[in-house]
Amino acid sequence: MGTYPELKDLPTNVLSAAERIRGHVRCTPFEYSRSLSELTEAKVWLKLENQQYTGSFKVRGAMNKLLSLNSIEREQGVVAASTGNHGAAVAYGCQKLNIPGLVYVPEDTSDAKLENMRNYLADIRLHGLDCVDSEAEARAVAKERAMVYLSPYNDPDVIAGQGTVGVEMEAQCDGLDVLIVAVGGGGLIGGISSYLKSVWSDLHVIGCSPENSPVMIKSLASGEVLDLESLPTLSDGTAGGVEPDSLTFPICQSVIDESVLVTEEEIRDGVTLLMEKHHQLVEGAAGTAMAALMIKKSELKGQRVGLVVCGGNISIKTLQEILCTSSD
């Protein structure tokens, strides 16, 4: 996996990350959903990372990276780029560990995610049209100021941190046949799947993305990272490009067994369904995973399915639009 030896033993690094971040993150529920199980005729469990600190799984990777810094790096501080959730996670971690932090986000980041970040006192700056633009600026500033750039996905410590979701899932159930995870940069699905496939070798992993921003999914299909335009999507947490040298690309190539693209209407229905059937407030990226479950339900009958509800940071405006559209 590239030039990073840490990635060759990713499952072990995930276990180390789980020990490192224990006490800094929540062990979130992995709940059996009777209503979704009846609806799909599968056995469906939901990993509720919308209940995580800062409202998403991103705090796991950020905390693992921050806790791995040496004393000089901690004193110099970190710079991050984000569509919102990673920024909130970095801001939370910097405040908790007393590390200087600066976060760049795309100009179209939702109000809910901006407010979530600003709750933790980090310096938040709007820059660029998507995460690739904000990442480029953040990297430049980090180099200029001799600070650590904390990638939202393209970092071994971040990937291992995200993979700790899988460590908890293993302890919370007797096994799974299928795992469904929304895909943006690939850190979450890469970390979780690398670990869980090391303990459940027959696990079938389904990655899903919005049709409006399918960069990783399309890149996997082509065998190389593509530079594709992303259109606006409710699944803003998975939106944007993938860096050409992304560590997550070869990981995703090795662990994702099947890919699903979903429409904006299907994402809306997914968000609404999680609210209606499981009483969970979720963001569009979680709705994307829910949409994939519904698309694939005829093939999942009788199987044990784990679905990662990756976040719950949705603005009131977006939620109103979804509910109004769903009621039409």
DSSP of 298-325, one letter per residue?
GG-TT-EEEEEE-B----HHHHHHHHHH
Q: How confident is the model at residue 1 (pLDDT cuts 50, 70, 90)?
A: very low
Q: How confident is the model at residue 327 (pLDDT cuts 50, 70, 90)?
A: low
Span 239-246, average pLDDT: 84
Q: How confident is the model at residue 326 (pLDDT cuts 50, 70, 90)?
A: low
Give CATH for domain 58-155.
3.40.50.1100
Where does the chain show beta strands of DSSP type E?
A: 30-32, 43-48, 78-81, 101-105, 123-126, 148-150, 178-182, 204-210, 258-262, 304-309
**With 60 as the cut, is the pLDDT of residue 6 above it?**
no
Hey, do 5-53+157-327 and 58-155 end up sharing a CATH topology, with the first three levels equal? yes
pTM for the whole structure: 0.93
State residue 26's pLDDT score: 98
Q: Running DSSP on this structure, what letter comes out for residue 26?
A: -
pLDDT, tens digit (0-9, with 9 covering 90-100), for 116-146 = 788 886 688 999 987 778 888 999 999 999 9
Q: Which two tokens stand for residue 195?
A: 């670990």
Span 240-254, average pLDDT: 90
State residue 2's pLDDT score: 46
State residue 133's pLDDT score: 84
How far apart are alpha carbons 88 and 95 in whole angstroms? 10
Residues 6+ apart with CB under 8 A from 171: none
Q: How far apart are the first and last CA of the chain?
A: 48
Give CATH for domain 5-53+157-327.
3.40.50.1100
pLDDT, tens digit (0-9, with 9 covering 90-100), for 31-61 = 999 999 999 999 999 999 999 999 999 999 9
pLDDT, tens digit (0-9, with 9 covering 90-100), for 94-105 = 999 999 999 998
Span 57-76, average pLDDT: 97
Closest alpha carbon to 30 in 200, 182, 174 = 174
**Is residue 166 a contact partner of residue 159, using CB atoms and an 8 Å limit?**
no
Sheet holding 101-105, edge to edge: 123-126, 101-105, 78-81, 148-150
pLDDT, tens digit (0-9, with 9 covering 90-100), for 143-194 = 999 999 998 898 999 999 999 999 999 999 999 999 999 999 999 999 999 9
pLDDT, tens digit (0-9, with 9 covering 90-100), for 187-220 = 999 999 999 999 999 999 999 999 999 999 999 9
Domain parsing of the chain, residue ranges: 5-53+157-327, 58-155
**Is residue 14 a contact partner of residue 195, using CB atoms and an 8 Å limit?**
yes
Closest alpha carbon to 139 in 71, 184, 147 = 147
